[in-house]
Structure 1
């Protein structure tokens, strides 16, 4: 669904890029996970034309399902506690711990935040881990090379909580109620943002860029496959085929060759098989 956002563009575009995109995600949303390769291709080909800002949607209802068998007073108390109750009969997690951990990771840099989000989604959708568990979150941070002590401090700091609340406020102001969602802004501060909710084919997003730029953007050259895999080590062949504009069978053959070289392995994920590149991965 395409609509106009009621919130006008109000931030400074950097590096003379004419567009800015707000990407609204929920780390528990399968469609948000499915959008990731499309975003990767969009940045790869047209990243010179836009800046990208990740925003966490405030409607993280799945987190609250982890809370059971506790009274309202216990729930409210636990929301402000640093401790997690691992008693035998109760499952008590901070309801927005996973979301706040993303903001804590972002405090170590924008790229660190993006790596953390991607790894968190891999843990959930590929490895079936509980990403509301503080131990899983710490392992995720350590896995992508964050300063672990700083990360743990930031999770419980006012800065991370305020950053998450800021995302919630932006979601409300831009009237984002469905996941995933993208809001596009151009350089004209008088124009409203163009909001797209839902998951669409790659061509649709390129068409939006073209319309907002009022010209056809020139795509950048794609990097070699293994270089891309070193940065995005877990991905489905269908997604790689979309990114590289090649038939699925050709990508599958290349991944099997990497498997024979012990550079990749095939894994079973929630929504089908994926490949994991294991040679010189960043995490």
Structure 2
């Protein structure tokens, strides 16, 4: 397996088991740019890997989604016929395990796809975490619910679902601030020569060093290897949270995501979730390809 890089690996001269101090972790020595597109099924399918990295090594890095805009004109029928788009999504679902219901393109095609990226940047004006949560909910609605979410009403509905400040979101939805933020992402995509989504670019604290770019998707161990070599130290992953704690934090996850994070089979993931279902902690949400689980209890 190969990967594309824009800078060399940094070799460690220190002891193999050295750990970071408390003050090292305050600044999170690694920053990751995630070049993505809300309409890209491969980007959606990468989410379980990102979750696992954050759970095990999130104390060492921050992550910043960058919207590439590469699919903003996806509704141009001549370039992207609905049947081809359906086939692309369905193929990705079968290859990755993350549900992508391609019937969207036949039943409720997006009227203005470019508005989705602008809405994500509008949400991000309320904070990086707010923007990422909004992006996740956008993807859930796109890939699971077969709904044209590119209208203002739908975009505002999702903003309400993730508890954004609705008055602020409405003001920002078509604002110059959101447009400029999106243009910055598009410019960064061009400057870093990102020609495939998803792509991840890793940066360490050394300003002189170029980023290291992984183009496309890889197995989890490749991302961990890159992270460790950029840290220049051998670091150990955090223990995985209890399953109930995991679902209570993320609220809505697939059996596939659980299987990836806990290194289980899909069958075992479903079996463990059914135990929580018997306790009425979760509800089962069948989708076209697989099963999602929704947490039933609200946080106090």
Under a length normalisation based on structure 1, what TM-score does the superposition of the two structures give?
0.82
2:101 matched residue in structure 1: none
2:39 alignment partner, one of 10, 22, 28: 28
Of Structure 1 and Structure 2, the greater strand share is in 1
In structure 2, do the counterparts of structure 1 residues 261 and 201 end up closer, same or farther at CA, with 3 Å as the change threshold?
same
Corresponding residue SS for 1:265: strand
1:179-218 → structure 2 map (5 Å cutoff)? 179-218=197-236
Give the Cα separation in 1 of the matches to 2:57 and 2:128: 19
1:73-84 → structure 2 map (5 Å cutoff)? none
Q: 1:188: how far off?
A: 1.8
2:278 matched residue in structure 1: 260
Corresponding residue SS for 2:206: coil
Could you list the runs of 5+ residues in structure 2 that have no partner in the other structure?
A: 8-23, 79-108
Deviations along 1:62-105, one digit per CA (max 9) or x if unpaired, are 544389xxxxxxxxxxxxxxxxxxxxxxx994452100100110
Aligned 8 A contact 2:285 2:294 in 1: no
Give the Cα separation in 1 of the matches to 2:25 and 2:77: 40
Matched, 1:18 2:1: no
Give the Cα separation in 2 of the matches to 1:108 and 1:26: 20
Corresponding residue SS for 2:148: coil
Aligned 8 A contact 1:126 1:268 in 2: no
Matched, 1:274 2:291: yes
1:147-186 → structure 2 map (5 Å cutoff)? 147-186=165-204
Matched, 1:137 2:155: yes
Could you list the runs of 5+ residues in structure 1 that have no partner in the other structure?
A: 7-12, 68-90
Q: Please, what is the CA RMSD of the aligned residues?
A: 2.4
Aligned 8 A contact 2:40 2:71 in 1: no
Give the Cα separation in 2 of the matches to 1:246 and 1:146: 35
1:97 matched residue in structure 2: 115
Corresponding residue SS for 1:190: coil
Aligned 8 A contact 2:32 2:61 in 1: yes
Under a length normalisation based on structure 2, what TM-score does the superposition of the two structures give?
0.77
Corresponding residue SS for 2:46: helix
Give the Cα separation in 1 of the matches to 2:37 and 2:49: 16
1:37 matched residue in structure 2: 48
